[in-house]
Amino acid sequence: TILCFQLFWGKTFTVSVYDAGEVFGVMQVEQDDEDEEGKKAYPSVEIRCKVVVTRGTGMQASDPTSIFLVDHAWTYRVESSRQQLEQIPGLLPRMASLMGVDFHGEAPDPDVVELVLKQMWKYNQTYQLAQGSAEEKVPVWYIMDEFGSQVQHSDQPSCCMAPFFYTQGQLAYTVLWPLADLQEGEEVTRDYAYGESNPLVRRCRLLPWVPADLEGVSTLTPEPSDIYYETISQENKEILPLDIQPHTVPKDKVLKSVQMGQVLNNLHHPRFTFTETEEEADILWTFSHIRDYRKLSEERPHVMTNQFPCETVVTVKDCVSAVSRRVRGGQGAEWLPETFNLQTELPQFVRHYQQRQGRGEDNHWICKPWNLARGLDTHITNNLDYIIRQRESTPKVVCKYLEDPVLFEREEVGMVKFDIRYMLLLRSVQPLRLYSYNVFWLRFANRPFSLDHFDDYQKHFTVMNYAEGVQLKQVHYDEFIPMFEKQYPQIISPLDFATIIFQSQFLLVNAHICFGLDYNGCGSLLLYKK
């Protein structure tokens, strides 16, 4: 069924239930020659239907009852999609039928599960909750019911469709409404790339449904112009400081205002005294984002902080990728995997993907939000449709996934991924003073590595200290060094990794100019074979 509703602003809405057959019909269409070629390429996946108006009086755009709610057949987050297909009774057969995938029987077929996981990106839609924890704000994906999923694309759509969350009932629907009057027999269509006016980007966004060859499109990704960074600065609402003269830190006692429990609980040096009064502190160590640096530089120029203006240039993924291109005259840094900004460099990425595909090269990529951590909303795939559709959720970069990383042998598990985390402290930018702590931290995956089941967090990710119910493998750095050297005598010692990290961060920070204040951060090193 679909629902017809009237909305009364500031009050409530009333809902009447109508059978879809009262207004619309889903009709099969004949395959033409071009479609037959597509059918040969995807013999088990066919889109053979369209939605038309069947009511004799048609549908008028000015009619307040010409607004419809479409049910959702499946709502999920990507990390749980495989489990739900395998465990929820009836879900896999329904999705297979909706997508035209051949499936007979009741028991979940692993091959059918894989095919549904691949094809669902031609049907997925998304929304994101505006409030809640970082985990709760991870994008939600959904597939409309058999009616909504058959509304086809058109560059001149006859209708619009958008997600609608009914807070009173805690239910999500899709709203459908006509853009123009529709007569009986006319097709209901929507724009799959709604709002995209750039012709090239539009072609890329429609690739999951409309094949296109991007031959002639350059794969070069020069560093963005200054306006890109200026826009980020404006969005961050930072007010830059005045030029100040360096101040000498008191040699006897240093008053410190701290919001971080780790510092409060572990800093015991007698030179430091904690204060709850921020105004009398010599050092501000805070979680909250400092925005008015000008006021701080005018009123308290001697104060040091754990932040500096415009630090997003080296702490947010899209900016790190962009700034790193200065190091090699426009090319990405050697220590950073190939990276594209899906918001601004989608055509370059798609063309690069197609070139690698034509050369038979590995094409696994990892999509990461610009400014999230802990593996949240992070996706690994070689499915181009999947990557393109990520652009519709949160802003992301896409990086080449290391298909042949250096692995560590865990006796109880096997060969697993691991990374090495170093602590860096940026004391100032002008002059550049950067420090690296020679004690590093280790993080391990819990399952043997292989290039499959990319939704298996414990196989492809190493951050286990935030996940519930999983093992956290810990090895002290001085115990790890001889173990690693025994497994890999031909590779440099982990003691030398710090030099690599330090040199790469030195080049990165040196590539941009900003005001120098204290900053502490960390970087992770994931090795790969070369």
At residue 353, the pLDDT reads: 96
Measured CA to CA, the distance from residue 354 to residue 346 in angstroms comes to 12
Helix, strand, coil shares of the chain as percentages rounded to 5?
25, 25, 50
Measured CA to CA, the distance from residue 230 to residue 52 in angstroms comes to 48
At residue 466, the pLDDT reads: 78
At residue 261, the pLDDT reads: 79
At residue 425, the pLDDT reads: 82
Cβ-contact 322, 228 below 8 angstroms? yes
For residue 380, the number of C-alpha atoms closer than 13 Å in the C-beta half-sphere is 18
> Does the pLDDT value for residue 93 go beyond 50?
yes
Burial of 309 (0-12, 13-18, 19+ CB in 10 A): buried
From residue 346, give the alpha-carbon distance in Å to each of 226, 278, 341, 380.
Answer: 20, 45, 7, 17
pLDDT digits (tens, 9 = 90+) for 185-240: 999 999 999 999 999 999 999 999 999 989 999 998 888 888 888 888 888 888 98
Residue 10: pLDDT band (50, 70, 90) is very low
pTM: 0.85
pLDDT digits (tens, 9 = 90+) for 316-329: 888 888 888 877 77
